[in-house]
A = this chain, B = another copy of it.
């Protein structure tokens, strides 16, 4: 028994955390389907015509997915050597959040707000990205974005300051007769709508001078979009083209990922990786 049990844990860990074995792949595909299906249930429940007609079925499905995810969560905790590390990792918290709302819904009546937490389940899809070679590609994008962070932050502060000043000007110019500019925060909202070229049209300038300033904001927004694009493009050009492979192995001890294909020991905790 003492010998068999670790073998079972190893097997479970292999299926749930790794993706290179057939069983691991099958598990990931199933998990992907369950995540998508459970989010579809959340969407349908929010639509009155489906809630009224199929309400009980949707509740049943919701419980089915919740129990399945609960089982998976418990197996994950069981199969890693250091459960604490998993539980408080990013994905550990997301995994917990995926099951909590349904249980809380039992205790609290009218817990309508939990729908947001249930939608967070979608983040679990990133887990399954290991399945294909997306992980490395995502890392290139994220690495490039990480490098661009200081420049992009400067850019955001610039935007923030520009929309505040332009919002104040428009409030002074049109606030007197145009309800859309009756307060500075509302005018700032308009400035953002305009600068980002979204252009809802729910607030529009009505005076000549207001239209002139709007046109200026539009052309500004239309032009400065080039700045973050140029920053990210030039950072991506400087990146290596990302041919290297990354192993899909997951460390049993610290649940870390991103090991090199020829790695034998975990680079974060030094434990031996699954052979």
Contact = CB atoms under 8 A, between A and B. Distances in A.
B198 A42 contact: no
A23 interface: no
A98 interface: no
B237 A185 contact: no
Contacts of A12: none
Closest 9 CB pairs of A and B: A198-B199, A230-B232, A230-B233, A119-B168, A200-B201, A196-B222, A234-B236, A46-B184, A226-B229
B223 A222 contact: no
A61 interface: no
Contacts of A222: 195-198, 221, 225
A133 B151 CA distance: 10
Interface string A229-272: 11111111111010000000000000000000000000000000
Interface in A149-173: 150-157, 159-161, 164-165, 167-169, 171-172
A122 to B, nearest CB: 5
A201 B204 CA distance: 9
A81 interface: no
Contacts of A29: none
Given A141-B151, A185-B46, A226-B228, A172 B236 contact: no
A218 B152 CA distance: 15
